[in-house]
Amino acid sequence: MSRGILDLDLLLTPDELAVRDTVRALGRDKLLPDVATWFEEGILPSEIPPLLGSHGLFGMHLQGYGCAGMSAVDYGIACLELEAIDSGLRSLVSVQGSLAMTAIHKFGSEEQKQEWLPGMATGEIVGCFGLTEPDHGSDPGSMRTHARRDGADWVLNGTKMWITNGGIAGVAVVWAQTDEGVRGFIVPAGTPGFRTQNIKHKMSLRASITSELILDDCRLPADAVLPEVKGLRGPLSCLNEARYGIVWGAMGAARACFEAAQEYAGSRIQFGRPIAGFQLTQKKLADMYLELAKGTLLALQIGRLKDEGKATPQQVSLGKLNNVREALHIAHEARGILGANGITLEYPVIRHANNLESVYTYEGTNEIHTLIVGQALTGIAAYS
């Protein structure tokens, strides 16, 4: 959040402002200086997970097992500040904390929690979350990956696609069809029959590793299954947590683009005056600020509801739908204001704009969240 016309800082407590300042300083000092290079080279340096872990950013809203036990609003603010640097960094935190750790925390046995969560909280172990498949994205209920019993063991076969952190993960949470419905499995890296392959040639989310997970007669012991959930409700309830982080995070990317455009417009002279002095530029900046402020208020409202235990999946969908769509508009407008400079990595705008194309699609596409909101408004499901 930034002061701006509305002075939204007034809505935050001193503790929340302290979280904001800590993560903002981490981003400014340790991440921003190199993030464009990571994006250009398509890498995520191995020291980043432990760095973020040392700041308590993994599973920061979870209780116990080395997690920071912070509020939903604290977590949202951290997502915003990280995504103001790069969506790939927020993705790392979302997938680690809100998807992989949350699945184990919510649905794992005590032994599974003790074994995996402390190392994931420090970032020593990276986790990934395999739901999407090559032929089943928006409709994960049709997944083909399956697990069958063989004595006490489970044997998994199938392919997961577009999996953030896959190639660097020490552990994968993989969702598979079974005779009892969809179940979650903990698959340690190095398990025979399990391998990953990184996806190349991405033009978006380049400072993030995205991979295919291949399970070929991958044999797991009986205690690899998450015991506390059966059915699609399992993965979908983890998605609520990660989608919530995106509601805030998207406003971070939007803020970075808005600030870059505002500053550029003030210093770029054309026709003898700053381009900020043209009415057309002012309309763009006014509209961008308006959507940034409205989206941040939406995120805060959902966060406050979440901290009261009242946030619904439909509210989170409303936030993801609006904030990612508007962040993408803001990024596109900012890119235009920067003229030719808008297409280079010397400025953050094209990087954010490209990243937001992924954010628009993952964690439920723009269309899927539209349909979730449509169903909430009409009572009629229109997915199929």
Please list the active-site residues: 363
CA 77 vs CA 2, 97, 307: distances in Å: 11, 15, 13
CB 128 within 8 A of CB 166: yes
Residue 372 binds to ligand TGC (criterion: CB under 6 A): yes
Residue 210 binding: pick among ligand TGC, ligand FAD, none (C-beta 5-8 Å cut-off by kind):
ligand FAD
What does the per-residue mask of binding to ligand TGC show for 124-153, with x meaning CB under 6 A? -----x-xx-----xxxx------------
Residue 26 binding: pick among ligand TGC, ligand FAD, none (C-beta 5-8 Å cut-off by kind):
none
CA 192 vs CA 90, 218, 293: distances in Å: 31, 6, 50
CB 213 within 8 A of CB 156: no
Q: How many residues in the shown chain lie near ligand TGC by CB under 6 A?
A: 26
CA 13 vs CA 25, 41, 77, 135, 304: distances in Å: 18, 39, 12, 45, 12
Residue 240 binds to ligand TGC (criterion: CB under 6 A): yes
Tokens linked to 371: 């349909």
Q: Give strand pairing partners of 185.
A: 174, 225
Please, is 146 exposed, middle or buried when counting C-beta atoms within 10 Å of its C-beta (0-12, 13-18, 19+)? middle
How many other C-beta atoms can be found within 10 angstroms of the C-beta atom of residue 35?
21
Residue 383 binds to ligand TGC (criterion: CB under 6 A): yes
Residue 204 binds to ligand TGC (criterion: CB under 6 A): no
Residue of this chain nearest to ligand FAD (CB atom): 137
Residue 85 binds to ligand TGC (criterion: CB under 6 A): no
Residue 232 binding: pick among ligand FAD, ligand TGC, none (C-beta 5-8 Å cut-off by kind):
ligand TGC
Q: Return the residues of window 312-351 that contact ligand TGC according to CB under 6 A.
A: 313
CA 97 vs CA 55, 248, 297, 310, 335: distances in Å: 13, 15, 24, 21, 32
Residue type, 165: N
Q: Angle between the 233-267 and 313-337 helix axes, to the nearest 10 degrees?
A: 30
331: nearest Cα among 274, 256, 270: 256
What does the per-residue mask of binding to ligand FAD show for 94-133, with x meaning CB under 6 A? -x---------------------------------xxxx-
Q: Return the residues of window 205-234 that contact ligand TGC according to CB under 6 A.
A: 231-233
Q: Return the residues of window 151-170 that contact ligand FAD according to CB under 6 A.
A: 162-164
Identified binder of ligand FAD from the candidate list 303, 321, 358, 369, rule CB under 6 A: 358
In the complex, the smallest distance separating the C-beta of residue 86 from ligand FAD, rounded to whole angstroms, is 12
Tokens linked to 378: 């009409």
What does the per-residue mask of binding to ligand FAD show for 165-204, with x meaning CB under 6 A? ----------------------------------------
State the Cα–Cα distance between residues 273 and 282, nearest whole angstrom: 13
In the complex, the smallest distance separating the C-beta of residue 234 from ligand TGC, rounded to whole angstroms, is 8
According to DSSP, residue 222 is labeled G
Of 288 and 316, which CB lies nearer to ligand TGC in the complex structure?
A: 316
Residue 137 binds to ligand FAD (criterion: CB under 6 A): yes
State the Cα–Cα distance between residues 108 and 127, nearest whole angstrom: 14
Residue 372 binding: pick among ligand FAD, ligand TGC, none (C-beta 5-8 Å cut-off by kind):
ligand TGC
3-state secondary structure of 161: strand
Residue type, 269: I
Stretch that binds ligand TGC, among 52-60, 120-128, 237-245, 255-263 (CB under 6 A): 237-245
In the complex, the smallest distance separating the C-beta of residue 68 from ligand TGC, rounded to whole angstroms, is 19
Q: In the complex, which residues of this chain contact ligand TGC (CB under 6 A)?
A: 91, 94-95, 129, 131-132, 138-141, 164, 231-233, 236-237, 239-240, 242, 313, 362-364, 368, 372, 383
